[in-house]
Each structure stands twice: as structure tokens, then as C-alpha cells.
Amino acid sequence: MNRLARGDISSAARIVVKVGSSSISGANAGQIAPLVDAIAEAHGRGTEVVLVSSGAIAIGMPYLHLDERPTDLATQQAAASVGQNLLIFRYQDSLDRYDIVAGQVLLTAGDLENPAHRSNARRAMDRLLALRILPIVNENDTVATHEIRFGDNDRLAAMVATLIQADLLVLLSDVDALYTKPPHLPGAERIDHIAAGEALAGMEFGTATGSGVGTGGASTKVSAARIAADAGTAVLVTATGLVAEALRGDHVGTWFEPAASPSGHPLP
């Protein structure tokens, strides 16, 4: 895996794209189509793309007559069971326009901490990509317990990017880039570039998404970006609405430069 420069995104061989619940569920369900458009464009030029998508619990909630994300594990698992089926259907329905087939990959943190399971997961995804299938990865909420959860799909995406030695990880949210403090606060400044190993002293990253359906935020994205960048994968953090520009290599979002000497597999 070669270290990717910001200007070379359009020539990346393998990219992982992560999208959060709030970006593709509820009032934002319509963002699935433009997300698929951008992925299909990259796929069409030969790039191997893996999509890490949250949303199963959020999409399943209305079918369980829930107005907010459940707090108990059993109800989360039930909502995920219903929502995962619908999530993949919605993606495949949109992908059909490009004759791209999706493959569902559900993982727990335990899978990537177990050498045999990790090897099997990589083998399966390598084969899917070789067959020009689009792997759509999510946490396996139906069987995951509190002890073996990733906790958020930003971390899962970083682990997947490292597992398959992706050139680039794109972390999407509802904000165009990272800021020195929550962007609605006075004095918040946009961060364009973060050098490999650069300390982010004085930054104030919040943790809440504000959507009521997701679990990530700016701090989880920074942590996930660090995991991937330290392992040699470049990271771009930007808004879901800018995914087409991001995958074309336009100068958007916050760029995390990959480490020159990767630290190896970032698992405990």
C-alpha cells in the first residue's frame, strides 16, 4: 500500500467510505441516491470501494413504533434486525441503476480481535472486491454485546480500512470538515490538514451528534482517523453532501496525512 497524497484521490486503488445514521435515515433518507452516485462514479473508474454504513437501528425504529433510539441492548438488537434488511434493500435498489451488486458484511469487534475471524473477514472482502461487488459493512448489532461492540462505526470503518489496507478512508457526517471547536461557537476555525502524528492540542471536539439516532461525533472521527492514519491509510473527514467532490479529489474536508512508517494493526 502506497501512501496516498491528497491530490491523488481519483487514482486510489481501494477506498473505504463511512456514512452515519443521521445522514441516510429519516428526513435524510434521500441522501442514499447521491451517495450511491458518487460511489458508482469511483467504482466505474476501477476503484475498489467498501461502504461502512450505520443506520440499521435508526431505520428499524419506526417499525418498532419507537420515537427515539432505544437504550437497552435487546431492543437495539431487535431494531437492528428489522432495519438491516431494509438498509441493504435501499442501497441495492439505488445500486441497480448502475448494475452494481452489494454484499452484506456484518462484523463485531470480537471478529477483528480474533486472528482466525479477522483473516476470514479479510479473505471474504478481498474476494468480494475482486468480483466487483460492493461490500456494505455494519456492526452486527443483533449479536454484539456491550463487551464486543465497536461503539461507533467510525472506529469500525478505521479497522476495516486497516484490515483491507485501503489507500483512503472517507468519514462522512453532517459537517463539511473538522473545526477547532464546535463550528457554531464563536472563533471556530476550519482544519484543512493534519500532519502525520500531529498533536491536536487546544482543540475542543464534542461527542454528540445531535440527531438522536447516531453514536458518533467529531471526537470519534478524530480517534478513528488516528487509527487509520497511523496504520498508513489517508483519511478525509467531510460532509455527506460533499462525497462526490471528495471521491473526485476536490479540495474539501479535513485531510489526515498517513504515517510514513505504519504502526501495524491497531488492535488491542
Q: Looking at the domain assignment, is residue 41 inside a domain?
A: yes
More confident residue, 183 or 240: 240
Q: Looking at the domain assignment, is residue 84 inside a domain?
A: yes
Beta-carbon neighbour count of residue 131 at 10 Å? 9
Model confidence over 162-211: pLDDT tens digits? 999 999 999 998 899 999 888 888 888 999 999 987 877 556 665 444 44
Distance in angstroms (rounded) separating the CA atoms of residues 242 and 29? 16
Give, as one character, the DSSP assignment of residue 211: S
Q: What is the pTM of this model?
A: 0.90
Specify the CATH number for the domain of residue 135: 3.40.1160.10
Q: Looking at the domain assignment, is residue 208 inside a domain?
A: yes
Per-residue model confidence (pLDDT) at position 3: 83
Model confidence over 6-31: pLDDT tens digits? 999 999 999 999 998 888 888 888 99
Q: Looking at the domain assignment, is residue 97 inside a domain?
A: yes
Q: 153 among the known binding-site residues?
A: yes
Residue 151 — pLDDT band, cuts 50, 70, 90?
A: low
Q: Which three three-digit cell numbers place residue 42?
A: 469511483
Q: Looking at the domain assignment, is residue 44 inside a domain?
A: yes
Name the burial class of residue 114, with classes exposed (0-12), middle (13-18) and buried (19+) by CB atoms within 10 angstroms of its CB: middle
Domain that holds residue 226: 6-256
Q: Looking at the domain assignment, is residue 264 inside a domain?
A: no
Q: 54 among the known binding-site residues?
A: yes
Domain count of the fold of the chain:
1
Per-residue pLDDT at 36 exceeds 70: yes
Q: Looking at the domain assignment, is residue 239 inside a domain?
A: yes
